[in-house]
Structure 1
Amino acid sequence: MTDQGWLLLVYRIPSEPTRLRATVWRRLKGLGAIYLQSAAAALPASPAAERALRKLQHEIVGMSGTAVLMSCDVLVGEQDVRAAFLAARDDEYQEIVDKCQDFHGQLEKEYVANHFTFAELEENEEDLTKLRNWFGKVTDRDVFGASGRKATEAALRTCEEALEKYAARVYTEEAETR
Structure 2
Amino acid sequence: MDDVGTWAVLVYRIPREPSRPRIAVWRKLARLGVARLGDGVVGLPADARTREQLDWIADEIVAAGGSCTVWLSQPATAAQEREIAAGMRAARAAEYAAVTAEAEAAVRSDPGERVRVLRRLRAELRRINRRDFFAPPERDTARTAVEALAETGDREPA
TM-score of the superposed pair, with normalisation by structure 1:
0.75
Structure 2 counterpart SS, 1:137: helix
Compared CA separation, residues 38 and 164, structure 1 to 2 (3 A): farther
Structure 2 counterpart SS, 1:165: coil
Compared CA separation, residues 142 and 18, structure 1 to 2 (3 A): same
Q: Give yes or no for the alignment of 1:128 onto 2:131.
A: no
User: What is the aligned-residue RMSD (CA, Å)?
Assistant: 2.1
Compared CA separation, residues 99 and 39, structure 1 to 2 (3 A): farther
The answer (yes or no) to whether the contact 2:97–2:142 under 8 Å persists in 1 is yes
CA distance in 1: counterparts of 2:40 and 2:13, whole angstroms: 7
Q: Give yes or no for the alignment of 1:89 onto 2:79.
A: no
Offset at 1:142? 2.1
Offset at 1:23? 1.0
Cα displacement string for residues 45-72 of structure 1 (whole angstroms, at most 9, x for unaligned residues) = 1111111111010001111111111111
Which of 143, 147, 152 is matched with 1:157 structurally? 147
Q: Give yes or no for the alignment of 1:79 onto 2:75.
A: no
**Percent identity of equivalent pairs:** 28
Cα displacement string for residues 137-168 of structure 1 (whole angstroms, at most 9, x for unaligned residues) = 2223323221211211121122212344259x
1:9-158 to 2 correspondences below 5 Å? 9-76=10-77, 77-104=80-107, 107=109, 110=110, 121=112, 124-158=114-148
Cα displacement string for residues 7-62 of structure 1 (whole angstroms, at most 9, x for unaligned residues) = 11111111112222221111011111121122211111111111111101000111
Offset at 1:95? 2.4
Cα displacement string for residues 81-125 of structure 1 (whole angstroms, at most 9, x for unaligned residues) = 1111211211221222233245335x1xx3xxxxxxxxx72x642
Unaligned runs of 5+ in 2: none
Give the total of aligned pairs.
Answer: 152
Compared CA separation, residues 125 and 39, structure 1 to 2 (3 A): same
**Structure ID, larger Rg:** 1
CA distance in 1: counterparts of 2:25 and 2:101, whole angstroms: 26
Q: Which portions of structure 1, spanning 4 or more consecutive aligned residues, are displaced by more than 3 angstroms?
A: none
